[in-house]
Amino acid sequence: MNHHRRLRSFSLSRNLTATVVLSLFLSLTCVAVASFNVTSISFDEGYSPLFGDGNLVRSSDGKSVRLLLDRFTGSGFISSNLYNHGFFSAKIKLPSDYTAGVVVAFYTSNQEVFEKTHDELDFEFLGNIEGKEWRFQTNVYGNGSTNRGREERYTLWFDPTREFHRYSILWTTKNIIFYVDDVPIREVVRNEAMGIDYPSKPMSLYATIWDASNWATSGGKYKVNYKYAPFVSEFKDLVLQGCAVDPIQQVSSAGCSEKDVELESADYAVVTPQRRTAMRNFRTKYMYYSYCYDTLRYPVPPPECVIVPEEKRRFKDTGRLKFGGHSHSHRRRSKRRSRISTTANSDNQAEI
């Protein structure tokens, strides 16, 4: 018995050491490549309330905002302009404790303008039961291609509820990069085979918190429990860089070629060898689903997929995994204007 205990203790210690080492590596990488040359703006300089006005709380200096979800409504904000490519970024702190069924989204979209042919780039943070970690996913849609979802799902190397961390989306004519704390976690490089599936129309930036009890946690098994409400997500150091487009005319008065060049030459647009290493390490340790390796869903990987043998070996059974089975169109409508029933969901804290 003591022998088994020692072996178990050694195994736990070894796993903990490996996790700490990788976390330290990623942290050091962040320090090495941090400090993108970006300028934050106040809320009123670039954003407007979207829904749930009473649950959107601005700081006295206007530099940060809280989004609340209670039993009556979620809340959200939207950029005042659409952008024809851009860099969209914010430091975000997520709700803590029991957050099953809660989704915090930070994303670009133009569905309000192009309902049937919309483009979208997503960060969606998925709450969990108490004691379990937040998970999140990124997704890419172009020209209404919601039947060809491009989800990837991940965990994090830190607790996103304890302090602020920066999340960023870069969208250019050539590529899309998702960043966490200045570490690139995903890159989609445009190619001809993607065709109209590559986002190409002006988009707004959105941030929302809403009730996604029907799919967000264990495929809807665990619901939002309003005994723990309000659920509070915080946003600060907001960044909007790109070619602003008139939301009515949807055409830039000055053209976007100069802004596109500026975006593509910015520090955050360059995936250096150091960043490439950080991205590879992140994806090896923290990515637990990728559509590129879902061979049941896509027997032939979509054209933008770059198959990495080391990654593929980890996802040989991915096609059998299930992630909610929810309707994309319903989810997109819900995260913008989710209105919560006055009936609280039952208290459900069973372990996953």
321, pLDDT greater than 60: no
Rg of the chain on CA atoms, in Å: 20
- The pLDDT-based confidence of 24 (bands split at 50, 70, 90) is low
Please name which of 142, 109, 103, 108 lies closest in space to residue 126, comparing C-alpha atoms.
103
C-alpha to C-alpha distances, 141 to 111, 148, 169, 244, nearest whole angstrom: 11, 8, 14, 21
Evaluate whether residue 53 is within a structural domain.
Answer: yes
- Any idea how long the chain is? 352
In the predicted structure, residue 100 carries a pLDDT above the cut 90: yes
pLDDT value at position 219? 92
Cα–Cα distance for residue pair 29/6, rounded to 1 Å:
34
328: in domain: no
Identify the pLDDT of residue 255.
79
Note whether residue 258 is domain-resident: yes
Claim: this prediction has a pTM higher than 0.85:
no
Q: What are the E-state strand segments in the chain?
A: 47-51, 56-58, 64-69, 75-79, 82-93, 102-109, 120-126, 135-141, 152-154, 165-171, 175-180, 183-189, 204-211, 231-245, 287-290
**329 is a domain residue:** no
pLDDT-derived band at 348, boundaries 50, 70, 90: very low
Q: Which of 13-22, 72-81, 134-143 has the lowest mean pLDDT?
A: 13-22
Summarize the confidence of residues 92-99 as an average pLDDT: 97
189 occurs within a structural domain: yes
Does 97 map to a domain? yes
Tell me whether residue 201 is in a domain: yes
**In this structure, what CATH number is given to the domain that contains residue 224?**
2.60.120.200
**Domain containing 187: what range?**
46-268
Instruction: Tell me if 122 sits within 8 A of 206, measured CB to CB.
Output: no
> What confidence tens digit (pLDDT) does each residue in 223-281 have?
999 999 999 999 999 999 999 987 666 665 567 899 999 999 999 999 999 999 999 99
Judge whether 81 lies within some domain.
yes
Q: Which pLDDT does position 246 carry in this prediction?
A: 75
Residue 298: left if φ>0, alpha if ψ -120 to 50, beta else—which one?
Answer: beta
- Chain segment 102-124, per-residue pLDDT in tens: 999 999 999 999 989 999 999 99
Q: What is the pLDDT of residues 189-229, one digit of tens each?
A: 999 999 999 999 999 999 999 999 999 999 999 999 999 99
**pLDDT-wise least confident of 75-79, 111-115, 222-226, 327-331:** 327-331
| pLDDT for 290 beyond 80 | yes
Percentage with pLDDT > 70 across the chain? 77
pLDDT recorded at residue 44: 97
As for how many domains the chain has, the answer is 1
Q: What is the pLDDT of residue 341?
A: 35
Query: pLDDT tens-digit profile of 136-189?
Result: 999 999 998 777 889 999 999 999 999 999 999 999 999 999 999 989 999 999
String of DSSP letters for 272-286: -HHHHHHHHHHHHHH
Q: Which residues are the active-site residues?
A: 120, 124
Q: Which of 31-40, 60-69, 327-336 has the lowest mean pLDDT?
A: 327-336
2 has pLDDT over 60: no
pLDDT at site 315: 82
Which residue bears the tokens 């198959």?
A: 307
Tell me: pLDDT of 347 over 50.
Answer: no
Q: Judge if the upstream peptide bond of residue 230 is cis by omega within 30 degrees of 0.
A: yes
